[in-house]
Structure 1
């Protein structure tokens, strides 16, 4: 199955984007090739761009505190495992403490690094990071693998509390809903929401189906169109498509 996630709020949209960028930095940094380390830095710069547009620390702390308060109310529920509940609450407390420990604005240590900011500025230009544009960066890309990995780790580590915190929030969000089975007749599906609230939709689709969902939603209705994928322009699938749909809400 392939899972397609569709955010229904700006906050969730930002968290999903950050999760994707953090995952890319961690993946490429663990590799050994210099071009993969270049990709790790590009993703690191993207995190910096997103972090500069919102007060991530404050928003994430507020959301974690809201989740903590909601989970505390479940202690008297006999259907809830107290051991598992304590584990989640301890994880939330750890994440909040680590986020509180981030000094200043997120990513400030990167902004204070003139060498990195020079690279970031050049990477905004197509082909702007060539060796004749940034000879010092070209030299860095030829340093021993372990040294490059260590330095990327030094630049990433101060921001990891944000990654840990958003991972907890997104995990709770993803586990909040129950998948239901549906059929999109002739590739189209519509559901009237009738006041049903959600912060994210998850659609599971069989991997062998050569189509992808296009989703539009508001507080009144949800519309999903499954578009066929090929060499030409995507068009609405003519066959019936079976899929799983999950409404996720914290």
Structure 2
């Protein structure tokens, strides 16, 4: 089933952005073509931009420690799978230790690479990394897939602890909350929110055979969901029929 995540705050929004960018980087690095390695490098530089705008390392370590404390309180609880709990605690410890072992600022090894930063600067210009603009980059793209993979993996390596921490935190977040089956009447659903612990993200799932997607407007007080159809020749149009979907309100 297609799944849509909608974050309620900038903190979760940043984690989802880095998760998405990392998935694209790793997919393109695994390929062999120079165009895909070009996409991998430019996406890696986008991750650097996202990381630069947030105190991500401190935030990740604090959240990992908070989750570890909360989960330790569940040890011995008969309704909790102790095997799954121990596995998650182990993952948290490994991720936190790896983050702490990296003494420099996240992405610092990339920032210290003058050649990569020259490419980053040119990449902000449409078509700015053509061979006549950056001949050294054109030369690198022609070195062959094994050399390019080796370089890309060395540039990615210092960021892997961050990625692993984000994977764990988002896995815990997505696994929280209860899932409810709902109906959007004439393609629209609204819900007021309350409680002492406001949701940090919502997750929507719809059936594969429904030719629509949700657009969400939400905050800690209310959720507004409108299902639209897509015609690439014009702007999305509102669905006029009832849509079955599931909604999960997630909170760390």
Contact 2:8 2:220 (C-alpha < 8 Å) held by counterparts: no
State the shift of 1:59 in Å.
0.3
d(CA) in 1 for partners of 2:77, 2:207: 36
- Are 2:30 and 1:30 aligned? yes
Structure 1's unaligned 5+ residue stretches are none
d(CA) in 1 for partners of 2:221, 2:54: 28
Deviations 1:167-206 (A, max 9, x none): 0000011111222111101010011113362111000012
Contact 2:217 2:225 (C-alpha < 8 Å) held by counterparts: yes
Alignment of 1:140-179 (within 5 A): 140-179=140-179
Who is 2:206 aligned against?
A: 205
Secondary structure of the corresponding residue to residue 90 of structure 1: helix
d(CA) in 2 for partners of 1:54, 1:234: 33
Who is 1:99 aligned against?
A: 99
Who is 1:9 aligned against?
A: 9
State the shift of 1:7 in Å.
0.5
State the shift of 1:14 in Å.
0.4
State the shift of 1:146 in Å.
0.5
Deviates more, 1:60-69 or 1:229-238: 229-238
d(CA) in 2 for partners of 1:233, 1:43: 27
Secondary structure of the corresponding residue to residue 17 of structure 2: helix
Alignment of 1:30-49 (within 5 A): 30-49=30-49
Deviations 1:206-242 (A, max 9, x none): 2232211111112222110111211322121111111
Secondary structure of the corresponding residue to residue 118 of structure 2: helix
Deviations 1:83-118 (A, max 9, x none): 221111111011000000112111111111111111
Who is 1:238 aligned against?
A: 240
Count the aligned residue pairs: 250
Secondary structure of the corresponding residue to residue 75 of structure 1: coil
What TM-score comes out, normalization by structure 2 length?
0.96
d(CA) in 2 for partners of 1:133, 1:241: 51
Structure 2's unaligned 5+ residue stretches are none
